[in-house]
Amino acid sequence: MYHADIYDARHNPPSYWEATASRAKLTAAPLMQDESCDVAIIGGGFTGLSAALHLARDHGVSVRLLEAGDLAWGASGRNGGFCCLPAAKLSIAQLIERYGLAETQRFFRMQVEGMDLVSALAEDEAIQMDKTGDGNLEVAHHPKAMAGLRTTAEKMSSLFGIKTRIYTSEEFAEVGHAGTEQFGAMHMAAGFALHPLKFAIGLAEAAERRGALLHPHSKVMDWQKDPDGRHRLVTDGGTITAGKAIVATNGYTDEGLHPETDNCVLPVLSNIIVTAPLSDNLLGAERYQTTMPICNTRNLLFYYRLLPDKRFLIGARGDTTGTVENGQRKQDWMTRRLGELFPSWQGVEVDYYWRGLVCMTRKFTPSVGQFEDDPSVFYGYGYHANGVNTAPWVGRLLAQLATGKADVRQDIPAVMAGAPPRIPIAGLRPWYLRGALLYYRLSDALNG
Ligand SMILES: Cc1cc2nc3c(=O)[nH]c(=O)nc-3n(C[C@H](O)[C@H](O)[C@H](O)COP(=O)(O)OP(=O)(O)OC[C@H]3O[C@@H](n4cnc5c(N)ncnc54)[C@H](O)[C@@H]3O)c2cc1C
């Protein structure tokens, strides 16, 4: 759907995360011969790595993982590191209308469990993931947005038991930040921020310690089925034969990988810039003092956070082509907008810019399940830009499903169960996306 650069898995993104993490302790190597195992995983991000770790550690299963690039080359190694909720592009009211209150509550419980799982994995597996912040913040970009934040805060606590607090603009300047688009905020006492690539590499190291075999630079080019029902996943270096398969390719799912995933995903570019370290004077000028992850209330939102070394990370939705030129335009626009949000920071150096694909679907919630025509294949994708807590949780569930320790009908929250409706005329996806972005841009303009 995008320019070939977006899919070029030979090179890692020029991200701040890549510059500050190391894969040196991993023994993972590309697949160089034909091998077999109980479960083969396609995709080496949070979903696939968590599935590999849980299969090897908790279920004693022989597992091999195939990844097109380096481990965590996709969204997992290049996201903002916000461990937040919810992984859905439906409002709370829409979720309740579609799935009922009990299942919506179950979904939010799962989201919090996902956050707890990330912390527990880091602790149990001694993963140093530079965790910061205590909760998540949503900042009103316009005075009108405060009413919505108050309603959300009330629902979060009364329906889902998540503690919330509303700050006026003056109060938030005392504990969070000032700036031209800060008209109050909501704090949710759930989640935190982390170094996503360190967390992903930590998962990979833990999976290897438990005997999982991980194969970076081993893209699945062809997927065949033997007469005896075993899967044959063909890469340039060799073939893996396995009784069961897990699809964990999310926004990087190729059309043609398997008929059951064709036309199911709408990959959307997200962009991040990271500044040079900001001096205490610059931070003080904007009263910036929190390390919590923050989103603002725009439909086409900004997400931002102060990193442990005082660099500032800010992310925003990308363009619809993926060309180098449009990437440069987006970087320039984000740099300019950063200076508009925090005027004292106009002209600060931007040291890093990168982008990657998040995964949207027509369901607007994650999709977890078993292929309709092949019960030996399990899948989890479509986290709607909210996979840091959701994908590791789904990876653990996929490991349980693949080993018969969980049941497809009972153990997947209804909000996530099953594949999304197919996208009609998949070739038109860039145009659907342009239409949606235009709609959101207009609605943001009308709402300040
Ligand atoms: C810029 C950006 C910012 C984001 N910020 C946040 C955030 O702050 N908080 C949050 O919760 N979420 C965020 N997300 C979303 C989050 O990163 C994802 O939801 C999550 O990482 C998905 O994990 P995954 O393992 O399912 O997919 P991915 O990490 O994308 O992994 C899929 C992998 O499959 C591989 N693959 C695809 N096809 C094949 C094949 N044929 N053979 C072998 N391998 C294959 C790809 O190379 C890729 O590495 C962000 C995403 C991006 C891009």
State whether 252 and 275 are in the same domain: no
Where among 360, 381, 410 does a domain terminate? 360
Q: For the chain, state the CA radius of gyration.
A: 21
Q: What is the CATH number of the domain that holds 246?
A: 3.50.50.60
Does a structural domain hold residue 430? no
Give tens-digit pLDDT for 370-422.
Answer: 999 999 999 999 999 999 999 999 999 999 999 999 999 999 999 999 999 99
State whether 274 and 414 are in the same domain: no
Give tens-digit pLDDT for 111-137.
Answer: 999 999 999 999 999 999 999 999 999
State whether 34 and 60 are in the same domain: yes
Where among 314, 331, 360 does a domain terminate? 360
Does a structural domain hold residue 448? no
Give tens-digit pLDDT for 34-79.
Answer: 999 999 999 999 999 999 999 999 999 999 999 999 999 999 999 9
**Residue 57 Cβ contacting ligand 1 at under 6 Å:** no
Nearest to 206 by CA among 320, 280, 128, 133: 128
Say if residues 272 and 354 touch (Cβ distance below 8 Å): yes
State whether 321 and 381 are in the same domain: no
Does a structural domain hold residue 76? yes
Give distance in angstroms: CA of 356 to centre of ligand 1: 8
Does the pTM exceed 0.95? yes
Nearest to 415 by CA among 383, 374, 376: 383
Q: At a CB cut-off of 8 Å and minimum separation 6, what does 241 contact? A: 34, 35, 36, 37, 226, 230, 231, 232, 233
User: In testing the pocket of ligand 1, which one of 358, 378, 379, 390 has its CB within 8 Å of the most ligand atoms?
Assistant: 358
State whether 376 and 404 are in the same domain: yes
Give distance in angstroms: CA of 359 to centre of ligand 1: 8
pLDDT at 308 over 70: yes
State whether 160 and 61 are in the same domain: no
State whether 323 and 226 are in the same domain: no
Residue 448: the pLDDT is 64
State whether 205 and 98 are in the same domain: yes
Does a structural domain hold residue 182? yes
Does a structural domain hold residue 5? no
Within 10 A of 239 (CB to CB), how many other CB atoms are there? 17
Q: Where are the beta strands (DSSP E) in 81-175?
A: 82-83, 136-139, 164-167
Return d(Cα 316, Cα 301) in angstroms, integer: 6
Q: What is the mean pLDDT of the chain?
A: 96
Does a structural domain hold residue 444? no
State whether 237 and 353 are in the same domain: no
Q: Which two tokens stand for residue 322?
A: 């993926």
State whether 212 and 125 are in the same domain: yes
Closest atom, ligand 1, to C-alpha of 73: 49
Give tens-digit pLDDT for 217-247.
Answer: 999 999 999 999 999 999 999 999 999 999 9
How many structural domains does the chain have? 2
State whether 341 and 369 are in the same domain: no
State whether 288 and 258 are in the same domain: no
Domain coverage including residue 176: 136-189+267-360
**Residue 416 Cβ contacting ligand 1 at under 6 Å:** no
